[in-house]
Amino acid sequence: MSDPVDPVLLKHRELERIAMVALHAARLFLESGARVKVVHEGAGLIIKGLGVSCVGMRAGYASHEITVSHGVNTITRMTAVGPHGVNHRLDHALRGLCVRASKGGMSVNEIEAEMERLVRETPHYRPLTIAVAVGIACAAFGQLLGIDWAATFPVLLAGIIGQLARHHLRGHGVNYYVIAAAVAFLASTIGGLGARFAGSETVPLAMIASILLLVPGVPATNAQTDIMDGYPSMGSARAVTVLMIMVFATVGVGLAEFVLVIR
């Protein structure tokens, strides 16, 4: 005669699966650059749609924790969070999935499979396309900063090369802050040299415009929003990250100025 199935153990296993699929969604949201409020609401919708209650969530910069309950059973699980990036397409696709899941009718396996499909099939721009767009943006903002037309093309070229270098270094797992310093040095050197050879009278401004691709706009905005939404820990962590990026970028530009002897 087989041993009887322990219903409490089975329920804990089901709760664990629900907690893990909600954590998966939360991790994808954070890695896509979503605000903490969006992360909590998205994971909460999945939990609600699967018929359990969310006791609480804790969003950290490097980890996320969820506690779910059903009746007398409660379970807490945590997952690590990878590098924070910006992927608005995946962010909005995940929001749509969370809304569909909240209406019920989707199993844990179906939600997990749909998330994997979104990660796999959400389209991405080619690195060269992104680099050209970044170069154009740097040149355009350089004009707003006051660079002359002689420095425009060097800044555009520096932005393109800097973005391609950043993409390459990220692909090889180089430290995020080291990337900021290296790209700042490379881009500002190219922009400054190009502007000088082109006869520009705004070489220092051209060097600054060449590294505008490193400005962490989304993390900076999220840091302020998270603090205002009542998540000071996550907001402060994001603010410190923004500060560190700007410090390392400044070091890179300073080295470039030393090499080019810019006064």
Q: Are residues 107 and 131 in the same domain?
A: no
pLDDT for residue 66 is more than 90: yes
Q: Is residue 22 part of a domain?
A: yes
Q: Is residue 110 part of a domain?
A: yes
Q: Are residues 157 and 233 in the same domain?
A: yes
Domain closes at, from 121, 154, 177: 121
Q: Are residues 40 and 165 in the same domain?
A: no
Taking phi over 0 as left and psi of -120 to 50 as alpha, with beta for the rest, 163 belongs to alpha
Q: Are residues 252 and 148 in the same domain?
A: yes
Q: Which DSSP string do the residues of 51-81 spell out, in sequence order?
A: T-EEEEEEE-SSEEEEEEEETTEEEEEEEE-
Q: Is residue 1 part of a domain?
A: no
Domain closes at, from 121, 156, 172: 121
Q: Would you state the pLDDT for residue 92?
A: 94
Overall domain count for the chain: 2
Q: Are residues 111 and 163 in the same domain?
A: no
Q: Write the pLDDT tens digit of every residue in 40-62.
A: 999 999 999 998 888 889 888 99
Q: Write the pLDDT tens digit of every residue in 174-204.
A: 999 999 999 999 999 999 999 999 999 999 9
pLDDT for residue 145 is more than 60: yes
Q: Are residues 133 and 84 in the same domain?
A: no
Please give the share of the chain, as a percent, with pLDDT higher than 90: 78
Domain closes at, from 121, 152, 176: 121
Q: Are residues 184 and 229 in the same domain?
A: yes
Q: Is residue 90 part of a domain?
A: yes
Q: Write the pLDDT tens digit of every residue in 106-140.
A: 999 999 999 999 999 999 889 999 999 999 999 99
pLDDT for residue 7 is more than 60: no
Structural domain that includes position 149: 127-260
Q: C-alpha angle 105/116/172, rounded to 5°?
A: 160
Q: Would you state the pLDDT for residue 1?
A: 45
Q: Are residues 214 and 237 in the same domain?
A: yes
